[in-house]
Amino acid sequence: MDGFLSLWSQAAHTTLGLFWMAFWAFGFGYLISSMIQVFVTRERMKQSMGEAGPKSVALGTGFGFISSSCSFAALATTRSLFTKGAGFIPSLAFLLASTNLVIELGIVISIFLTWQFVVGEYVGGILLILLMWLIVRLTRPKRLIEQAREHAREAAGEDEDGEVPDWRKLITSREGWQQVANRYVMEWRMVWKDVTVGFTVAGIIAAFVPKSFFEALFAGSGQGSDPSFWELLLQALVGPVAAFFTFIGSMGNIPLAAVLFSNGVSFAGIMAFIFSDLVVFPVLRIQAKYYGWKMALYILAVFLAILVAASLILHYGFAMAGLLPSSANASSVTDQEFFAVDYTLFFNLAFAGLSAAFLVWKARTAGFMGSDTDSWGENILRILAIAAFAWLAGGLGLALFAG
């Protein structure tokens, strides 16, 4: 029993430490994302993303990059663009870019993993889009696309666009920055459950799960020699399969990816795990609601194929260039010194103050009542987040009593 209580305390401490390391990165990323979403009009996006072609796909990728957001918000925006006439391939390019070419995601990856993973995230994002374009062109699902567009329009109902003021006026106005504050709070509102569950799971796995488990789950991990092609392929397949059965978004998955890497999982396996935010079950369910189950399963199959292929290409590309990161040099997550008087402390204090100011501003101007109703998946995730808070409180309480 004492061993369990000690591990419980260690898991809670690790979770809190991981979030402490990443808080300012979340705040900085969501501030940039909120400013872009408020000050950049989407009218030009809808007018420019026509049928598949180099220009439309490039515009979809660019618009996705500047509209970076969590996967659930990106799904809604993609649906809106698609129903307004944007081409299917440019719409998927927008979706992939807005969830993979993400500023805040790169910052968080740089904190928990090596620079190679940051480069892999952005290069891999481009690879995903190019591979998606190729597969969709080869399979030519024209009739399925037409049916999906009609289904999406019926599901959307009346979806009229409001007037979008000039960004130059917005950026110098109180109203514009009030919208930024509202958007910033909404970004946190959308991801707090994923982040809470993700960081808690990462702490639990880091403390409780032995390295032998990862070696059994991810074939070829933890070996002194380089894994074979088939072992890399299996690891790249296990990553998305593991992610599919979680309700954790990409931001919450990064600390868990660091745990996997420290336990010997290959670069390909880690990248496949990180890329898997669009093949998780809640995303599949939302896609089915928007486009119907046939299109949702088609998109799932395409995304699964491209993320496995992109992960393997990245792994062998980095290996050929002699840039492949080695997990042998990765320290255990539980051994890190999380709390110190350094730049993390001052950045966290700054963004805590900014977050509090934005929270109060939104409370006074717009309130917190949302018009949307949470789905059963969101309700399950909320229950898990509440349970995570209870778990953390118990573990930290044990640490205080032990101290």
For 79-96, the pLDDT digits (tens) are: 777 877 778 898 899 899
Number of H helices, E strands in the chain: 18, 0
Q: What is the pLDDT of residues 245-285, one digit of tens each?
A: 655 566 667 888 888 888 888 899 999 989 988 887 767 87
Asked if 202 and 333 count as a contact pair (C-beta separation under 8 A), the reply is: yes
Helix 293-320 and helix 281-291: axis angle, to 10°? 130
Query: Do 44 and 237 contact (CB within 8 A), yes or no?
Result: no
Q: What is the pLDDT of residue 270?
A: 92
Give yes or no for a contact between 55 and 28, defined as CB atoms under 8 angstroms apart: no
**pLDDT for the residue 201:** 82
Can you tell me whether residue 177 is helix, strand or coil?
helix
Given a contact cutoff of 8 angstroms between Cβ atoms, the answer to whether 33 and 104 are in contact is yes
CA distance 159 to 156: 6
Could you tell me if 264 and 221 are in contact, meaning their C-beta atoms sit under 8 angstroms apart? yes
Angle (CA) 319 323 326, round 5°: 85
Sign of CA dihedral 102, 36, 363, 283: negative
What pLDDT digit, counting tens, does each position of 133-191 carry? 999 999 988 899 889 888 887 765 544 455 556 667 778 888 888 888 988 888 788 77
The 10 Å Cβ neighbour count of residue 311 is 32
Q: State the number of CA atoms in the 13 A half-sphere of 332 facing the CB.
A: 13
pTM of the model: 0.72
Q: What pLDDT is recorded for position 156?
A: 57
Q: Is the dihedral of CA 72, 299, 124, 312 positive or negative?
A: positive
Q: What is the pLDDT of residue 158?
A: 45
Using the structure block, give the residue that is written with the tokens 């591990």. Answer: 7
Task: Retrieve residue 179's tokens.
Answer: 């919208």
Place of tokens 């917190």: 368
CA-CA distance, 270 to 127, in Å (whole number)? 16
CA neighbor of 260 nearest in space, from 209, 321, 336, 192: 209
Reading the chain (403 residues) residue by residue, the pLDDT tens digits are 568 888 899 889 888 887 888 788 778 867 876 786 677 655 555 556 666 678 888 878 887 787 666 666 677 778 777 877 778 898 899 899 988 887 778 888 888 888 999 999 999 999 999 999 999 999 988 899 889 888 887 765 544 455 556 667 778 888 888 888 988 888 788 778 877 887 888 788 878 887 777 777 777 666 656 788 988 999 899 888 877 765 556 666 788 888 888 888 889 999 998 998 888 776 787 788 888 899 999 999 999 999 999 999 999 999 999 999 876 665 566 666 777 888 888 989 999 999 999 999 988 887 766 545 566 667 887 898 899 999 999 988 887 776 5
Residues 6+ apart with CB under 8 A from 262: 327, 330, 331, 332, 333
Between the alpha carbon of residue 44 and those of residues 48, 97, 257, 287, the distances in Å are 6, 17, 37, 24
What's the helix, strand, coil split of the chain in %, to 5? 80, 0, 20
Among left, alpha and beta (phi > 0; psi -120 to 50; other), residue 367 is left
